[in-house]
A and B are shown apart, each in its own frame.
Chain A
Amino acid sequence: NAGVTQTPKFQVLKTGQSMTLQCAQDMNHNSMYWYRQDPGMGLRLIYYSASEGTTDKGEVPNGYNVSRLNKREFSLRLESAAPSQTSVYFCASSALGGAWGYTFGSGTRLTVV
């Protein structure tokens, strides 16, 4: 089925460990995004990529890095995980940025202990 695929679905990390969240879309969308969702906070933008080869910071980029590997894939890396990064992470894609509806992946539930 067409859509956005995220891996892993669940992850537990120890403080200081690193990990990469993977995201791939097969809809030929240009724009891709990483959001985090915390209780009562809505979704907050971490990083985005308007097109292949470009990435930009969003509202809460500290502690994260991203790579737009190709048009399909957009990964999020935590270099040294902290308890404050415990959250649910969603990847999304759009054909025309904010002028088009977003399609979200199923999310990654990350716990940092």
Chain B
Amino acid sequence: QKEVEQDPGPLSVPEGAIVSLNCTYSNSAFQYFMWYRQYSRKGPELLMYTYSSGNKEDGRFTAQVDKSSKYISLFIRDSQPSDSATYLCATLNSGNTPLVFGKGTRLSVIA
């Protein structure tokens, strides 16, 4: 079982839709949870970061972590064509271990 599972999509939605992106992870020691956005032919950029369980909101983006079910979510409200990108979830524990990335979900928002 991979440490972080993420449905690669692709996911195509109309402009203005609410988008839900999800990951599951297997290592209960993971404590930090991140979402990176990667545009085509660019490097990933950090979008959201959360520590332990709970929600975090930043504008149209909400990150949610449920440690009891080992489930990570990113919600995008009022999606825009500029949100079209690959979204990567990433996790790590508090020890000296590297970031573990999911495969990424490719999102297309159609105008």
State whether these chains interact.
no
Using a CB–CB cutoff of 8 Å, the interface residues on chain B facing chain A are: none
Residue positions of A touching B, CB distance < 8 A: none
